[in-house]
Chains A and B, each alone.
Chain A
Amino acid sequence: MEFLSLLAGGFAVVFQFVPVDIWPGDGSLIVPLPVNILLCLVGTLIGTLIGVLPGIGPIATIAMLLPITYKLDPTGALIMLAGIYYGAQYGGSTTAILVNMPGEATSVVTTLDGYQMARQGRGGRALAIAAIGSFIAGCFATLLIAALAKPLSAWALQFWQADYVSLMIMGLVFAVALARGSVLKALAMISLGLVLASVGTDVDSVDTRLTFGFVELADGIEFAALAMGAVGFAEILRNLENPERRDIVEGKVTGLMPTRDDLRQSAGPIARGTLIGSILGILPGNGAVLGPFASYTIEKRLAKDPSRFGRGAIEGVAGPESANNAGAQTSFIPMLTLGIPPNAVMAIMIGAMTIHGIVPGPQIVEKQPQLFWGMIASMWVGNLMLLVINLPLIGLWVRLLKVPYRLLFPAILLFCCIGVYSVSNQPFEVLMTGAFGLAGYFLIKQGFEPAPMLIAFVLGKLLEENLRQAMTISRGTWNVFYERPLSLTFLIIAAVLLTLTMLPSIRKKREEAFAE
């Protein structure tokens, strides 16, 4: 139970008062402010806002806000950026329930029953149960991160480069297994991500690779440009294809308090959703996105009367909403303890840490306890804030959602352009984002999902770095990969999982599960 006292130390960091030079910056007005808690509030509010807005996600927002965090201390900056991510999970459900449109990729499932509940005049209760479920999931996930942090990072400190290589290969296989759609296409997208990752200057020889003569590509492809293009812009283009059918259920958002019956019906789904979401979130690959789907499928299987699903079953909101918030938070575990990002948002968080001079990896827990435990404690505080502030703000979100998409998306596009420009103040990045958007849109239309590509892009660089070091240390022999028990274990898991995924019978089942 040592982690509880460490967590308490984290709370002290979150609530600490820092003297701030407010204005005009010459030290004439210095006020002690609880900076971290304010940043947490700002982060969760921005997160909810972008969660509500379809087409702008945490990746774009964090990329946009990165330059602003230069002025903050690292702990505060990361507390705010983390708040954006889990705040978006709360906001995404609002749009899903009231407008039948997922505000975030993770709230797709919530549209099924949440919107039906809203149409039946139970929108308030759907929103409330989504928030309560998310809060419970958030509390559990926070404790889980706290409990796992020390043992996992201590374990990871014993990793050799070869173990990291095998772990990342396992991660790539997970990304294929957890990806939606065809296995072959996921494998192709993983390879594409790896190829894109190798663009840029080779560290050892200073040769440029795959830059096609563009000086701007010498530092490699900017992750924000790739992510915002292939996911953000492509999603906008996708949304524009379907003329909008948005019926906001308004005026019916009354009765926010769930009834005793609602709570009784939701207790099981929330508990199961939290557990499933937490486990899937830790897995590298698309865990946080997959959680809600898995939860929905399970609830439907367990239900006495599955036909209620799709017609406003509260379990179909409670389970998936708990799962997505749990997954969003537990995805911090591999990032913080191993330095390996399990999804695109965590990759950009690693970027944020690097900017502040923090090297992500197992040593953070020991060397920067203030930052580490402060960030974890802030997640619990942030979840509490979201529970309290979310419901009163619903009127505001409804008004925002009434803005027609034809006005909304040009604004979102402009935000993204400014965001990607601000990453490095390079106009070239904006053009690259456009190109990635077009390519991503084309590939999505042929059934290729961009998510595995992004994960592979992130892991590709780490993979090459560690593989080359491992090979240098082992003097060019591959033995180390199967002689190290840990590395061998990871490789065996990867091989078994890949074989299972490729088996025709399982492949079929898997595709059916995703189709649901």
Chain B
Amino acid sequence: MSDNSARSGDDDDDDDGTRGLIKSPQNFVGGLALLIFSGVCWWAVSDLRGIRGASFGPGTMPRIYVAFLMFFALLVTVSAFTTRGPKLETMPWRAPFFIMAGVIFFGLTIRGFDLGVFKVPGLGLPISGFVTTLLAGAAMDDFRLGEGVLFAAAITAFCVLLFAIVLGQPIPVYPPFLR
């Protein structure tokens, strides 16, 4: 579905959107995404107890909230057929990929993370921070490895000094094999 709207968005040079069935691709894609999310949430709260007599059950408010989301997401999706809007923006992959890689690396290795099938070892701030900064730097097209390494090392050293030593935050510094 979203492919369809993206394609029709490309056909049309008009900045105001498409002339096809879907007049506002952004509303369509965004509304549909929220609609799907609300559907998943509805399923997740469906087994919670609802209102009983005077008192609300655990499921009452979530169901009201999810119903609101579903309703407005549906309206946004429907509005894609009635009002004209801007076409879809291109989704770059490089920046989100490297930024997310950096963030996930930090999350998994700063203290170690049990993924169930595999236990990621904790590496501590110097190593985690360095790799994260380097990965994030690679998000940009004009990334230079030499400069990136130097800068990542400097900024990580600064963070270790500031957060772990000066401010005394309980953030792991040494990897387990050095502890």
Q: Which A residues fall within an 8 A CB radius of B? A: 67-68, 182, 184-185, 187-188, 190-192, 194-195, 197-198, 202, 204-205, 207, 209-210, 212, 233, 236-237, 240-241, 243, 405-407, 409-411, 413-415, 417-418, 421-422, 425, 427-431, 433-434, 437-438, 441-443, 445-448, 460, 464, 467-468, 471-472, 474-476
Q: Which of A184, A240, A446 contacts B29 (CB 8 A)?
A: A446
> In the docked arrangement, what's the CA distance between A447 and B152, Å?
34
Q: Is B169 interfacial (CB 8 A cutoff)?
A: yes
Interface size bucket, B side?
35 or more
Tell me if B34 and A192 are in contact (CB < 8 A): yes
Least Cβ distance of B55 to chain A in Å?
Answer: 6
A243 contact set on B, CB distance < 8 A: 141
> In the docked arrangement, what's the CA distance between A169 and B144, Å?
51
Tell me if A411 and B155 are in contact (CB < 8 A): yes
> In the docked arrangement, what's the CA distance between A447 and B59, Å?
31
Tell me if B163 and A233 are in contact (CB < 8 A): no
A434 contact set on B, CB distance < 8 A: 100, 103-104, 107
B48 contact set on A, CB distance < 8 A: 202, 207, 209
Q: Is B145 interfacial (CB 8 A cutoff)?
A: no
> In the docked arrangement, what's the CA distance between A113 and B163, Å?
39
Tell me if B56 and A468 are in contact (CB < 8 A): yes
Q: Is the interface of A mostly helix, strand, loop or mixed?
A: helix
B148 contact set on A, CB distance < 8 A: 410
B18 contact set on A, CB distance < 8 A: none
Nearest A residue to B134 via CB reads A410
Tell me if B33 and A410 are in contact (CB < 8 A): no
Q: Is B31 interfacial (CB 8 A cutoff)?
A: yes
Tell me if B61 and A198 are in contact (CB < 8 A): yes
> In the docked arrangement, what's the CA distance between A202 and B134, Å?
41
Tell me if A471 and B56 are in contact (CB < 8 A): yes
Q: Which of B68, B103, B113, B171 contacts A194 (CB 8 A)?
A: B68
Interface residue ranges of B52-92 to A (CB < 8 Å): 53-59, 61-62, 65-66, 68-69, 71-73, 75-76, 79, 85-86, 88-89, 91-92
A192 contact set on B, CB distance < 8 A: 34, 37, 69
Q: Is B8 interfacial (CB 8 A cutoff)?
A: no
Tell me if A198 and B65 are in contact (CB < 8 A): yes
Tell me if B44 and A204 are in contact (CB < 8 A): no
Tell me if B54 and A475 are in contact (CB < 8 A): yes
Tell me if B44 and A184 are in contact (CB < 8 A): no
Q: Which of B30, B53, B56, B66 contacts A185 (CB 8 A)?
A: B30
Q: Is B129 interfacial (CB 8 A cutoff)?
A: yes
Q: Is B170 interfacial (CB 8 A cutoff)?
A: yes
